[in-house]
Amino acid sequence: MTHSGGKPHAVGDKGQRYETTFVDPNRDEIRRVYGWVDTLAGARVHERSINAHPTWHTPLIQDRQTGDLVEALPVPANKLQPPVKRPEPDPVVERKRL
């Protein structure tokens, strides 16, 4: 039983046509799933959200019914180069701040 009394939820990818993925430089540049939607307009919202994120890049939309990739929107000027990874903090400096 679920918290809503056993009613089914529309959670996950079941029946969703489009899958949106992105590259996360904070996770060793691996491609991750952003989400699933049933309309191309909804997938475009995902794509714009990924492009607005400060470090995520290279969004892809795949039509799961045909297996084809959907043509991407133009890349915003601030995303033409993949973001530079920030250096790890120096543990000695971090201890001094405490």
Domain hosting residue 40, numbered range = 13-74
Euclidean distance between CA atoms 95 and 6, whole angstroms: 51
> With contact defined as beta carbons under 8 Å apart, do 57 and 28 qualify?
no
**Confidence at residue 2, expressed as pLDDT on a 0 to 100 scale:** 45
Residue 61 located in a structural domain: yes
**Confidence at residue 90, expressed as pLDDT on a 0 to 100 scale:** 62
**Would you write out the chain's pLDDT as a tens digit for each of its 98 residues?**
445 555 555 666 788 999 999 999 888 888 999 999 999 999 999 999 999 898 898 999 999 999 999 988 877 666 665 555 666 666 665 555 55
Residue 93 located in a structural domain: no
**What is the pTM (predicted TM-score) of this model?**
0.65
**Confidence at residue 18, expressed as pLDDT on a 0 to 100 scale:** 94
Residue 30 located in a structural domain: yes
Residue 17 located in a structural domain: yes
Residue 43 located in a structural domain: yes
Residue 1 located in a structural domain: no
- Number of compact structural domains in the chain: 1
